[in-house]
């Protein structure tokens, strides 16, 4: 997997083809390194996903790129403007839909958008025209005059994205846009985000592999502040092609049996009512014979194809839902 790093990073020959470039971008909080020497190049018009578990450094990276906090070391350029030397120019061409949305609950969709237009110094006419378009784009037509505190999480998130779009940014940062949404609301939001594809350069962070897979042109996997893999979703999956997972549900598995299996298959772990074994070559008969010989009564057995979750697991040793403190 490591050989992936840089392989797809050659990208355009011309520096001007990049919307975002980071150069050893680093942020430390005391002894803790939240973002660790990150080098990334995002092409203009690309939907790029930064994928990683909680605490990986995604929000910290976005905060640096949007000039809300200063890097401890390294830097980045947005459309050629250095975030340290020229934050004013950067702020003009980017916008953020933050992880914690900043909408005013007592105001309506319409009022929130007008307020935002004012913040960006747009004329009243311009703001109204854009607000109208954006309300349609994010599917809030018909709800524009209601107080947004009554909206569902998904609707609030759509409004937050519309608010980030009011300044017509060249680069849009979406920090965990579907965090906490139910699967249906998440899919609805994917459709809205898909509409923006190709129109804006988008950096989207997520800890849902499925989301990066569905939306992103390219994905960088971040873990403990470091980029551990980079590629298109299909390239990332190809790297573990052939990796299989065998799920066995059975009674009377002992710790000894699991230890024994680990000798042949190091990626053996306990699962619900049984075990899971991951490997490139699983010798089915051997495993079953061995278990029978140990007096294990197999109740159910199946093979799983690799998913992006497996990519993540093989890179980081962590499930994506893991909390990192
Ligand atoms: N203001 C802060 N002060 C101290 N530590 C922080 C601060 N913000 C984030 N961190 C730490 O930096 C790491 C990365 O956090 P964050 O960027 O929020 O991760 P993510 O967005 O990927 O969940 C975490 O270990 C987090 O606890
Ligand atoms: Mg975050």
The b/e string for 265-296 (b: 16+ C-beta within 10 A; e otherwise) is: bebbeeeeebbebbbeebeeeebeeebeeeeb
Residue 312 in domain = no
Cα 56 to middle of ligand 2, angstroms = 8
The b/e string for 75-105 (b: 16+ C-beta within 10 A; e otherwise) is: bbbbbebebeeebebbbbbbbbbbbebebee
My answer on whether 157 and 284 are in the same domain is no
What is the pLDDT, as a whole number, of residue 39? 98
The CA–CA distances, whole Å, from 45 to 2, 69, 210, 324 equal 26, 25, 21, 32
My answer on whether 278 and 154 are in the same domain is no
What is the pLDDT, as a whole number, of residue 242? 64
My answer on whether 67 and 107 are in the same domain is yes
My answer on whether 249 and 283 are in the same domain is yes
Q: Which ligand is nearest to the CA of 35?
A: 1
Cα 63 to middle of ligand 1, angstroms = 11
Cα distance between residue 262 and residue 18, in whole Å: 46
- Which residue puts its alpha carbon closest to atom 4 of ligand 1? 29
Place of tokens 């909390």: 323
- Contact 41/78 with Cβ under 8 angstroms? no
My answer on whether 223 and 266 are in the same domain is no
What is the pLDDT, as a whole number, of residue 49? 97
The pTM of the full predicted model, rounded to 2 decimals, is 0.79
Summarize pLDDT for 93-125 with one digit per residue, the tens: 999 999 887 899 999 999 999 999 999 999 999
Boundary (domain end) residue, out of 176, 206, 232: 232
- Which residue puts its alpha carbon closest to atom 7 of ligand 1? 29
Cα 122 to middle of ligand 2, angstroms = 30
What is the pLDDT, as a whole number, of residue 258? 93
My answer on whether 188 and 275 are in the same domain is no
Cα 207 to middle of ligand 1, angstroms = 14
Cα 89 to middle of ligand 2, angstroms = 25
DSSP-assigned letter for residue 2 = G
What is the pLDDT, as a whole number, of residue 239? 67
Cα 201 to middle of ligand 1, angstroms = 24
What is the pLDDT, as a whole number, of residue 8? 46
Is the C-beta atom of 55 inside 6 A of ligand 1? Answer: yes
Name the residue range of residue 267's domain: 244-305
Is the C-beta atom of 60 inside 6 A of ligand 1? Answer: yes
Residues of the chain with pLDDT below 70 are: 1-15, 238-242, 305-308, 318-325
Is the C-beta atom of 71 inside 6 A of ligand 1? Answer: no
Mean pLDDT of the chain: 89
What is the pLDDT, as a whole number, of residue 3? 40
Residues 6+ apart with CB under 8 A from 132: none
Is the C-beta atom of 53 inside 6 A of ligand 1? Answer: no
Atom of ligand 1 nearest to the CA of 56: 22
Is the C-beta atom of 34 inside 6 A of ligand 1? Answer: yes
My answer on whether 45 and 194 are in the same domain is yes
Is the C-beta atom of 157 inside 6 A of ligand 1? Answer: no
Residue 152 token pair: 């569902």
Summarize pLDDT for 49-94 with one digit per residue, the tens: 999 989 999 999 999 999 999 999 999 999 999 999 999 999 999 9
């Amino acid at each position: 997997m490591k050989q992936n790093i840089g392989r797809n990073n050659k990208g355009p020959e011309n520096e001007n083809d990049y919307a975002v470039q980071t150069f050893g971008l680093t942020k430390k909080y005391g002894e803790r390194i939240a973002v660790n020497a990150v080098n990334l190049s995002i092409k203009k018009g690309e939907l790029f996903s930064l994928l990683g578990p909680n605490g990986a450094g995604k929000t910290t990276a976005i905060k640096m790129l949007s000039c809300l906090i200063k890097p401890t070391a390294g830097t980045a350029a947005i459309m050629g403007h250095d975030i340290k030397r020229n934050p004013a120019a950067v702020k003009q061409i980017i916008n953020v839909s933050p992880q914690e949305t900043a909408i005013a609950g007592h105001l309506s969709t319409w009022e929130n958008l007008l307020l935002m237009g004012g913040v960006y110094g747009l004329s009243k006419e311009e703001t109204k025209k854009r607000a109208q378009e954006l309300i349609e784009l994010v599917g809030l037509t018909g709800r524009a005059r209601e107080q947004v505190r009554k909206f569902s999480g998904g609707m609030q998130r759509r409004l937050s994205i519309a608010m980030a779009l009011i300044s017509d940014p060249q680069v849009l940062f979406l920090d965990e846009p579907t965090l906490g949404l139910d699967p249906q609301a998440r899919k609805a939001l994917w459709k809205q985000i898909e509409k923006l594809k190709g129109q804006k350069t988008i950096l989207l962070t997520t800890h849902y592999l499925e989301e990066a897979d569905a939306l992103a042109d390219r994905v960088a996997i971040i873990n403990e502040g470091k980029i551990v893999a980079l590629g298109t979703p299909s390239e990332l999956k190809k790297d573990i092609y052939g990796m299989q997972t065998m799920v066995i549900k059975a009674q009377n598995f002992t710790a000894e049996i699991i230890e024994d299996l680990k000798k042949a298959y190091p990626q053996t772990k306990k699962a619900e009512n049984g075990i899971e074994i991951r490997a490139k070559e699983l010798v089915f008969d051997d495993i079953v014979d061995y278990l029978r010989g140990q007096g294990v009564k197999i109740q159910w057995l199946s093979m799983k194809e690799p998913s992006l979750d497996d990519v993540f697991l093989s890179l980081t040793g962590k499930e994506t839902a893991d909390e990192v403190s």
